Amino acid sequence: MSTTEFESLDKCLESHLPEEELKEVKRILYGKETKKLELPSSAVDAATDRDFELKGFQFDAAQEQLRPPRKVRVGLVQHHIVLPTDAPVMEQVNAMHSRIGEMVEVAAMCGVNIICFQETWTMPFAFCTREKEPWLEFSESAENGHTTRFCQELATKHNMVIISPILEREDVHNTVWNTAVVISNSGNVLGKSRKHHIPRIGDFNESTYYMEGDTGHTVFQTHFGKIAVNICYGRHHPLNWFMYSMNGAEIIFNPSATVGTLSEPMWPIEARNAAIANHCFTCAINRVGTEHFKSEFTSGDGQKAHHDFGHFYGSSYVAAPDGSRTPGLSRTRDGLLVVEMDLNLNRQISDRWNFKMTGRYSEYAEELTEAVRPDFKPKIVK
Ligand SMILES: NC(=O)NCCC(=O)O
């Protein structure tokens, strides 16, 4: 585990600002304060023993006369890879399963209803190498692969909806996808959401490995609420979040893998803005650590070849439709963020701000239809 990396913005602010100023800084940076969620001491002790950070927060909504509160607890998991990247594939996968198993157990102690893991959680983020093997051996069937079966057991045991983002191989045509499998709390595969936008930036050479998703903007009606999964690079696309929300998503998860030099200043803004713009909750999850690869690779930028991608900065957080957000998890440690939210807040904020009602979507639909035509002429008056 890296000890030289900066640990977290929150820790830095808390240790350097006087209390009154800290309050104001946090109000401006994070919006309305999210209350700490009391977690069972057995869970806190287990997280300490298992060497991961455990944090809990809650978002309240106003009491309504006609609708009872709709409280849901979500869990966001960020973690390092467990074994070196040159360990045998199956050993790496199984080691990751054991790590996740022990973190999910703690989530269950905290009453988590829906849990989401990081992007392609069973493997190193090896797409930087441009080597096909052994990385493509980590791909599995979404419906009945080893990892899905593992998650089904966890889901049934803990009565928990599980979002399991994996490298998927569809075995009729051997097509590979970056896919989040959604498993219901009764252990059934409810469906899957394939990564819609594939990055073409830096060392994220993912288009070499898998295809643009074809599952559209599916929303999953679970026992605990309507959820959707916008995988990693999709968070830079406001229309991607928007379409999940148009299909009724109440919580949109964003399992990611991204590094500090590339995206860190954008990280706190994008998922949070999506929560505001779409009157829903968003959950941003990023892996942690620096992953070393045996073969050197270049980044195509004239710099020297290297063995790693840079530091994955964690910092997973949840944002609410009123613009508030939780503090982030650490930039360096494995962690579980438990957040209780009352889904009634979505409609309450929608009634206050009316973004959906004032959206003028049919005008945009017409203008967009024109804008994507090959004979499109931009409307510029000179
Ligand atoms: N995994 C992934 O799509 N990363 C792209 C880089 C980013 O979106 O920050």
Render 232-289 in DSSP notation, one character per residue. GGGGG-HHHHHHHHHTT-SEEEEEE--BHHHHTTTHHHHHHHHHHHHTSEEEEEE-EE
Cβ atoms of 121 and 165 within 8 Å: the answer is: yes
What's 372's DSSP letter?
T
Instruction: Report how far ligand 1's centroid is from the alpha carbon of 198 (Å).
Output: 8
Q: What is the pLDDT along the chain (382 residues), one digit of tens a residue?
A: 445 789 888 889 999 999 999 999 999 999 999 999 999 999 999 999 999 999 999 999 999 999 999 999 999 999 999 999 999 999 999 999 999 999 999 999 999 999 999 999 999 999 999 999 999 999 999 999 999 999 999 999 999 999 999 999 998 999 999 999 999 999 999 999 999 999 999 899 999 999 999 999 999 999 999 999 999 999 999 999 999 999 999 999 999 999 988 999 999 999 999 999 999 999 999 999 999 999 999 998 899 999 999 999 999 999 999 999 999 999 999 999 999 999 999 999 999 999 999 999 999 999 999 999 999 999 999 9
Question: Global pTM?
Answer: 0.97
pLDDT digits 0-9 by tens, 162-195: 999 999 999 899 999 999 999 999 999 999 999 9
Domain limits of the chain?
Answer: 9-292+305-371
Name the closest-CA residue to atom 8, ligand 1: 233
Instruction: Report how far ligand 1's centroid is from the alpha carbon of 256 (Å).
Output: 7
Structure tokens at 129: 């190498």
Instruction: Report how far ligand 1's centroid is from the alpha carbon of 41 (Å).
Output: 36
Nearest ligand 1 atom to the CA of 202 is 6
How far apart (Å, rounded) are the C-alpha atoms in residues 62 and 351?
A: 13
Nearest ligand 1 atom to the CA of 195 is 3
Instruction: Report how far ligand 1's centroid is from the alpha carbon of 322 (Å).
Output: 26
Side chain identity, residue 55: K
pLDDT of 260 reads 85
pLDDT of 1 reads 43
How far apart (Å, rounded) are the C-alpha atoms in residues 318 and 275?
A: 9
Please work out whether the CB of residue 232 comes within 6 Å of at least one atom of ligand 1.
yes
- Pocket perturbation via mutation, ligand 1, pick of 232, 254, 313 by most ligand atoms within 8 A of CB: 232
- Pocket perturbation via mutation, ligand 1, pick of 125, 201, 204 by most ligand atoms within 8 A of CB: 204
Nearest ligand 1 atom to the CA of 258 is 9
What was the ipTM of the complex prediction?
0.98
Please work out whether the CB of residue 92 comes within 6 Å of at least one atom of ligand 1.
no
Cα 357 to chain center, whole Å?
28
How many CB atoms lie under 10 A from the CB of residue 264? 16
H helix intervals, the chain: 9-16, 19-30, 41-49, 89-109, 146-158, 238-246, 260-263, 267-278, 344-353, 361-371
Please work out whether the CB of residue 204 comes within 6 Å of at least one atom of ligand 1.
yes
Nearest ligand 1 atom to the CA of 197 is 3
How far apart (Å, rounded) are the C-alpha atoms in residues 330 and 303?
A: 30
Please work out whether the CB of residue 263 comes within 6 Å of at least one atom of ligand 1.
yes
Structure tokens at 6: 């900066």
H helix intervals, 71-182: 89-109, 146-158
Cβ atoms of 119 and 255 within 8 Å: the answer is: yes
- Pocket perturbation via mutation, ligand 1, pick of 127, 208, 233, 285 by most ligand atoms within 8 A of CB: 233
Please work out whether the CB of residue 199 comes within 6 Å of at least one atom of ligand 1.
yes
Which sequence positions are flagged as catalytic?
Answer: 119, 195, 232
Please work out whether the CB of residue 53 comes within 6 Å of at least one atom of ligand 1.
no
Structure tokens at 366: 């017409």
Phi/psi for 258 (5° steps) reads -150, 155
Instruction: Report how far ligand 1's centroid is from the alpha carbon of 257 (Å).
Output: 6
Instruction: Report how far ligand 1's centroid is from the alpha carbon of 267 (Å).
Output: 11
Q: At what angle do helices 9-16 and 19-30 cross, to 10 degrees?
A: 150
The contacts of residue 358 (CB under 8 Å, 6+ apart) are: none
Sign of the alpha-carbon torsion through 160, 62, 254, 268: negative
Instruction: Report how far ligand 1's centroid is from the alpha carbon of 204 (Å).
Output: 7
Name the closest-CA residue to atom 5, ligand 1: 233
Domain 9-292+305-371 has CATH 3.30.70.270: no
pLDDT digits 0-9 by tens, 237-296: 999 999 999 999 999 999 999 998 899 999 999 999 999 999 999 999 999 999 999 999
